[in-house]
Chain A
Amino acid sequence: MAAVETTVAPQAGAPGMTMLDIAGLNVSYPVYEEEPVRAVRDLDLSVRSGEIVGLVGESGSGKTTLARAVMGLLTQPGRIDTGSIQFDGKDMRALSENQLRAIRGRDIAMVIPNPRSELDPLIPVGKQIAAVARAHLDIGRAEADAMALDMLKAVHIPDPTRRFRAFPHELSGGMAQRVVMAISLVCSPKFVISDDATSGLDVTVQAQVLDLLRTLVREHDTSMLFITRDVGITAHFCDRVAVIYRGEIVEFAETADFFENPQHPYSVMLLAAFAHNPALRNKWHKPLASTEAEAGRACLYAPRCVHREDECDERHPDLRELGGARHLVRCHFPVERVA
């Protein structure tokens, strides 16, 4: 592909404008003497300015691979086969490593779980926040330190002046996660990718961190891709919800619409996992033992699907609009609500 001149779209960042646009993305990991593993398949996903999009999937569904592909940080030997990633009007795949480095941390930031492993154990946390600000913004040490202190206040760290000099091991898990958030947000990025960032936290701390994250996102009109295994969080935190299964988006809808009227059998099964009535739950869920060793069906979900028909083995379903309200679903036989 020829190097594309990076063009800045007019009025970048205006509300409602597309901030991130992924089209036809394919990511695979080559395997020795075997077919490559396709981690992300023909994936289309867009996030508008000021919007929080939730991406829900089980482990191994390709969520993290997608996040890393967007950041240009795929782990070896993963590679993007085809597709485009437009961020804020720029073609991310055409940028050089140096150009990407200028964007990462400045315009796109990533929040990941295990805050302690992300922080440098030998540097006070305030200095770590300031270092990111100095790397991207043309400011001096004193100004960067002041920004870092402001960020510690913004993420509600108690006693921020003292904690500025604290080392990561002196902080609790919840506080360390907030420091990681402060690092991500110190340059007021246009886009934040959160990869399972709250999964290790206690529910009370998780509730605080989510409230805080939403406030910060709203205040700065930041967009966000919120990746999680927990469909429960997306109900209360996201504007739209996408469900990913084996690297494919199988459903994408406004949050209220998604939970009111989930249409893909896999989405319903994810919701059913929270139900306490086993009979009802098993109506949507095939036990794992019966679904082993059944790859290569036309619909990737067919082996686990309770609604499987011959057509599901013959023709791969497209992501299509159903029932209006921009509700997309990839299924030949979508679910209909009876009530």
Chain B
Amino acid sequence: MSAVLTVEGLVKHFPIAGSRSVVQAVNGVSFSVAKGETLSLVGESGSGKTTVGRCVLGLIKSTDGAIGFHGKPIDRRRNIRSSELRGRLQLVFQEPAESLDPQVRIGNTIAEPLRSMGVSRPDQRQRVREVARRVGLRDSTLEQFPAELSAGQQQRVGIARAIVTDPELIVLDEPTSALDPTARAEIIDLLIRLQQELETAYLFISHDLSTVRYLSHRVAVMYLGMIVELGTAKELFSHPRHPYSVGLLSSVLLPNPKLKRESAVDLAGEIPSPIDLPTGCYLAGRCPFADDQCRSEMPPEDTVAEGHTVNCFKHRDALRGHEALDYFDDFQVEAEKLLGAGRR
């Protein structure tokens, strides 16, 4: 598998006006996304996941590190806006209603990326119809305005606009968090189907862990601008190693009162300010296992299994006996039983 996207040691600091200190939003992040693969970035708000996505598209200039698209760098001159990469990288936004121009008909909205690439009018029209059908929009919808559509349909338009150029990588920034659960499930199924058909690579940014488990191949857990754990979705959700991952996963409330979350890790407090970062492990202030080493040194990356890395000094001792967290898998088994029901 060749990597579509490689990110090496990405750092992004935002200056604060009138101050010498900076917001350290991203502090050395490395990962890659292969063709046809979904890598998810998860974490609380303020963990830097959106900033990573914007750096990847070249929408903001990174402070340090390298971003490669098929091995060639993305930077200030070569980015989503440059003629060379235009259409090959795309973006789907969080709020479908706000990302669509209310005064532009749906068909023209979807055609917009093609216009900027200089595709002829008849070709545009044909391509738009093709893509609209692919995402499940009717031809008549193309003549409508965004306000006439439901939120789920609006997000279909957002996705159609992204895939209309047949991109190799799509950055999806919380594409389902503004949707009702039923519309969310439809959009997720659509994204999975499109990826199988088009072999697009997805960088999926979300704090909705249930969705992430379903749609990702690999998952990177971010905390204060760093990846603290990275592994396959199956491995990471069933055997999370980092105390933060364990705390995060056990906070998810799935609709089954019998599956009580018993967490070995109680994450007290909230994410610290990215302006004054603590020395040592960034989680030390919230972690029940932290000791002096954690408070003074930054834990290195530790490989625990093929493709599964953890940045924690304590993961071998602290979570022994609590390693298996079958909450998500148990829920699916229970759900299958329940949904197998019939009519009275």
Which A residues have a C-beta under 8 Å from some C-beta of B? Answer: 58-59, 158, 172-175, 202-207, 229-237, 255-256, 259, 262-263, 268-278, 280-281, 283-285, 287-289, 307, 333-339
Contact = CB atoms under 8 A, between A and B. Distances in A.
B150 to A, nearest CB: 7
B312 to A, nearest CB: 17
Contact of A235 (B136, B254, B271, B336): B254
Contacts of B270: 172, 174-175, 205
Contact of A259 (B257, B267, B336): B257
Contacts of A268: 338-339, 341
B174 to A, nearest CB: 12
Given A59-B151, A281-B185, A173 B253 contact: no
B153 interface: yes
Nearest to B273: A172
Given A59-B180, A231-B181, A275 B336 contact: yes
A280 B255 contact: no
B199 interface: no
Interface in B129-185: 136, 138, 150-153, 180-185
Contact of B186 (A270, A287, A334): A287
A339 B337 contact: yes
Given A288-B186, A333-B343, 19 more contacts: A158-B269, A202-B207, A204-B44, A230-B181, A230-B253, A231-B181, A232-B254, A268-B341, A274-B185, A274-B210, A274-B255, A274-B331, A275-B332, A275-B336, A276-B332, A277-B336, A307-B343, A335-B342, A336-B344
Given A284-B339, A339-B340, A255 B257 contact: yes
Interface string B226-264: 000000000000000000000110011111111011000
Contacts of B257: 235-236, 255-256, 259
Interface string B318-338: 000000000000011001111
A172 B269 CA distance: 11
A231 B255 contact: yes
28 contacts: A173-B45, A174-B270, A203-B44, A203-B251, A203-B252, A204-B247, A205-B44, A206-B253, A231-B255, A232-B254, A232-B255, A235-B254, A235-B257, A256-B257, A262-B338, A270-B182, A271-B335, A271-B338, A271-B339, A272-B339, A275-B332, A276-B332, A280-B335, A281-B189, A287-B186, A288-B186, A334-B344, A336-B344
B214 interface: yes
Contacts of B248: 203-204
A274 B214 CA distance: 10
B185 A235 contact: no
A326 B151 CA distance: 35
Nearest to B254: A232
Nearest to B183: A288
Contacts of B181: 58, 229-231, 270, 273-274
A229 B180 contact: yes
Nearest to A283: B339
B338 A337 contact: yes
B284 interface: no
A270 to B, nearest CB: 6
B66 interface: no
Given A203-B209, A284-B339, A335-B343, A271 B255 contact: yes
